[in-house]
Amino acid sequence: MTTAAPSSTRALDHPTRAEIRLEGVLHALSDPMRLRVVRQLAADDAGLGGLSCSQIDLPVTKSTSTHHFRVLRESGVIQQIYRGTAKLNGLRRDDLEALFPGLLDTVLTAATAQAERVSAP
């Protein structure tokens, strides 16, 4: 069938706040590619409301990107909304902060520190 999909607004499945699990979040963040995504989203976070998938630079194919975005979404780390042909991604800061206070910022700070440490002379 082509199936009667309500095409007005394609909706995506997100876990509710209560469904977000710490192990899932940690697992999502433990992959270098996904950590990279989260860092880029965090950098943008202050200025805008979301980045499209293609705005985020990853050294993998599109299929793999889609996979990582899905893992991030299903673990509750990011939120995805369709906007025309693009899909906007944003961190679920409020939910994460309510569930695990300070976790996201601590991980982001740690990631930045490590990046500087690794690339340091």
Partner DNA sequence: CTCCTCGTACGATAGACCTCGTAGTACGGC
Partner DNA sequence: GCCGTACTACGAGGTCTATCGTACGAGGAG
Residue 71 sits in the site that holds DNA (CB under 7 A): yes
User: Would you tell me which residues interact with a second copy (CB under 8 A)?
Assistant: 18, 21-24, 26-27, 29-32, 35, 99-103, 106-107, 109-111, 113-114, 117
Cβ neighbours of residue 79 under 8 Å, at least 6 residues apart?
Answer: 14, 50, 73, 89, 90, 91, 92
Instruction: Output 88 or 108, the one with its CB closest to a second copy.
Output: 108
Tell me the chain's radius of gyration from C-alpha atoms: 15
Instruction: Output 4 or 120, the one with its CB closest to DNA.
Output: 4
Minimum gap (Å) between residue 44 Cβ and DNA: 14
Provide the token pair at 112. 């930045």
CA distance 91 to 80: 9
Binding-site string for DNA from residue 81 to residue 100, where x marks contact by CB under 7 A and - marks none: -x-xxxx-------------
Residue 63 sits in the site that holds DNA (CB under 7 A): yes
Provide the token pair at 17. 């706040």
